[in-house]
Structure 1
Amino acid sequence: MKEIDGDKILTYTVSIALAVVTGVFVNKIPRTRGKNPIFHAIFVAASIAILIFLPEEIQETVFSPGGVVVVGTILPVYVSIVAILTPGEADDSTWLNFWVVSGTLSYLTEFIDDIKHHMPNGGEHWYEFEFFLTLWMILPFTDGSTLFYDKITERFIRPYALKVKTYAEGWIGFLMLAVNSSYLWFAWFIFMSFPEEQRRFFVIAMGTVYPVAASIIALTTKEDGKDDSFWLTYWACFSLLFLAMDYLENFIGHIRGFYSICMVATIYLFLPAFDGANVVFRRILVPLSGQYENMLLHDAYLVRKDMEKKIPNKYHERVFQRAAGVFTNQKKE
C-alpha cells in the first residue's frame, strides 16, 4: 500500500466517520439476498454516473488504496462488531459471507500494486473496480456477498473447502505438537530462511486459506451459530492486522523479524488454544467501537441461552424471575 499523503488525512478521517455512521444503518435494513435485478441495474447505473461526473481530484482520493480500506475494511469491521454483539446468528452469517468473498479478494490481489508499479496502465482502473465491487457486496439492496455465496460458494466451492479445512487441520495439529514438543524453533528457522516476499506470502496464506475454508464450512453447517461468530470475530481482527502489516512494512518491513511477528500474531488469532481473536475483540475492538455496553448485554443473552438449555422447561418461568432479581440486586424470598 502506498503511504497516505498528509493532505489526504482529513479526507480519510471524514470518510471513516461516514463509514461508521453508515454502519449503524446497514444492519437495520433488510437484506435482499441479491434477488432483485432492478437494484443491481440501479447500482451499475449509479456507479457509471459517479465515474463520469465526480471530479477527478476527488476520484483520485476515493478510488485509491486508502479509499478501498475505508469501504472494504473500516466499515465491514465496524458492522461485523455490531453483528457479533447482536442476539441471534443471522447477521453473523451475513457478514461472514462478506469476509469469505472480500477477504479472499483483498488479501490475494496484492500483486496489483506491483503490476501498477511496473506497468502503469496494467491496473489503471483496479481500485475503481474493487471499490464498487465491495459496495455491491455490502449494501443491503444489492447484497452481493450473499448472492455470491448462494450461486457460487455453496454450490461449487464448499466441497473443496471441506478438503482444505481437513488438510489444514492436520497441519495445525502438527503445529500444536511442535509447540508442545519445543520444536517450534525449527519451523521458525525454516520460515526465516525464505526470501522476504515468500515470508509475506506465507503470512497471507496462513491468514486466509484455512480461515476461508473454515468459514465456508461454518456457513453451511447450521448448528448453534458459534462457528459463525468465531470466524466473524477472527476476520474483524485479522483484517486490521493485515492492514497494519501492509502499512508498516513500508517502514520496518526490511527488519528480519517483522514477518515472523505477523505470522505469530496471525496464528494467535485463529488457534482455539489461544482464543486470540476473542481476546483482541473484547479488549480492543469493542471499546474502540463504543460497543462495550452491548457486549455486556450480549454476554447476558448467552447466559440466558445456556440456562434455557440446562433448566427443564417447567422451571423456566420461576427460575428466570428469580434470576432477574439477582441481576437487579433484589432479594426475593
Structure 2
Amino acid sequence: MADQIKLQLSKLRIWLDKYPAMKVLEEKTHVPKEYAVCGAGVLVFLFLLFSNGAGFLCNVIGFLFPAYYSFKAIESPNKEDDKQWLVYWVVYSFFTIIEAFVSVILYWIPFYYAFKLAFLVYLGYPGWNGATLIYNNFLKGVLQKYESTVDAHLDAAKASAAAAVANASQSSGETDIKKKN
C-alpha cells in the first residue's frame, strides 16, 4: 500500500511539474508540491463535508460516480456489472425516499453528511458490495412481499393517467371544433 501511495505521489509530482506556479509554491513553502496539493485537496474536501457544500458533495458521490459507472456497465459486454449498478440504484432510491420523510430529524444529527457520505461510499464501492448486501438482506424481501400490491396500484395509476389523457385530448378536440365553427 505504501508503495502504491509513493507511486501515485510521484505521478502527481510529474504532472505538477508542468505548472511553474507549483515550483514557486514549493520553493517558498519548502513543502513538496505533491504534498501541498494533497493537503489542499483534503482541506477542500473537509470544508465541503462540514459546511454548506456537504449536500453537494454527497450528491456528487451518490449520483455522479455511480451514473458514470452505470454508463460503463451498460456499454460493457459483462452483465454482472449491470446487475451491481441496478441494485445500487434500487437501494439508493429507497434511501433517498426514507431520507425525505425523516429529513427534519436527520439535519439535527451532528455530522449527518459525513455519515451519509460514508454510507454512499459503502453502497457504491464495488469491492464492498454494500448495496448488494442491503438489497439481499432487507429490500428484496420487502419488495417481494408487496410486489403484487405495488403492481396493482401502478396498473390503476396507468389506467387513470390514460383516461385523463384521453379525456383531455377529447376536450381539446371539442374546443378546436368549436373554434372553427
Q: Which amino acid letter does the alignment assign opposite residue 67 of structure 1?
A: L
Q: Which amino acid letter does the alignment assign opposite residue 153 of structure 1?
A: L
1:151 pairs with one of 137, 146, 152: 137
Q: Which amino acid letter does the alignment assign opposite residue 84 of structure 1?
A: I
> What are the within-5 Å matches in structure 2 for residues 1-333 of structure 1?
58-62=45-49, 64-110=54-100, 114-115=104-105, 122-182=108-168
Is the alpha carbon distance of 1:59 and 1:107 closer, same or farther for their aligned partners in structure 2, counting shifts above 3 Å? Answer: farther
Is the alpha carbon distance of 1:74 and 1:107 closer, same or farther for their aligned partners in structure 2, counting shifts above 3 Å? Answer: farther
Per-residue deviation, 1:75: 0.6
Is the alpha carbon distance of 1:55 and 1:139 closer, same or farther for their aligned partners in structure 2, counting shifts above 3 Å? Answer: closer
Cα distance between partner residues in 1 of 2:85 and 2:170: 34
SS in 1 for 2:99: coil
Contact in 2 for aligned 1:112/1:123 (Cα 8 Å): no
Per-residue deviation, 1:160: 1.2
Aligned residues: 128
Is the alpha carbon distance of 1:85 and 1:166 closer, same or farther for their aligned partners in structure 2, counting shifts above 3 Å? Answer: farther
SS in 1 for 2:90: helix
Per-residue deviation, 1:108: 4.0
TM-score norm. by structure 1 comes to: 0.34
Higher RCO (C-alpha 8 Å, min separation 6)? 1
Deviations 1:131-186 (A, max 9, x none): 0101001112211001111111223332213321331222122102211221799x
**1:252: which partner in 2?**
none
Per-residue deviation, 1:96: 1.1
Deviations 1:255-303 (A, max 9, x none): xxxxxxxxxxxxxxxxxxxxxxxxxxxxxxxxxxxxxxxxxxxxxxxxx
State the 4+ residue runs in structure 1 displaced beyond 3 angstroms.
Answer: 54-58, 110-116
Q: Which amino acid letter does the alignment assign opposite residue 97 of structure 1?
A: V
Cα distance between partner residues in 1 of 2:99 and 2:170: 30
How large is the RMSD of aligned CA atoms in angstroms? 2.9
Contact in 2 for aligned 1:98/1:145 (Cα 8 Å): yes
Of the two, which has the highest radius of gyration?
2
SS in 2 for 1:133: helix
Alignment gaps of 5+ in structure 1: 1-53, 186-333
Contact in 2 for aligned 1:97/1:146 (Cα 8 Å): yes
Identity %: 23
TM-score norm. by structure 2 comes to: 0.59
Deviations 1:177-235 (A, max 9, x none): 211221799xxxxxxxxxxxxxxxxxxxxxxxxxxxxxxxxxxxxxxxxxxxxxxxxxx
Contact in 2 for aligned 1:68/1:130 (Cα 8 Å): yes
Per-residue deviation, 1:77: 1.0
Q: Which amino acid letter does the alignment assign opposite residue 91 of structure 2?
A: V
Higher helix share: 2
Cα distance between partner residues in 1 of 2:112 and 2:88: 19
Cα distance between partner residues in 2 of 1:81 and 1:178: 35
Is the alpha carbon distance of 1:106 and 1:182 closer, same or farther for their aligned partners in structure 2, counting shifts above 3 Å? Answer: same
Q: Which amino acid letter does the alignment assign opposite residue 74 of structure 2?
A: I
Per-residue deviation, 1:97: 0.7
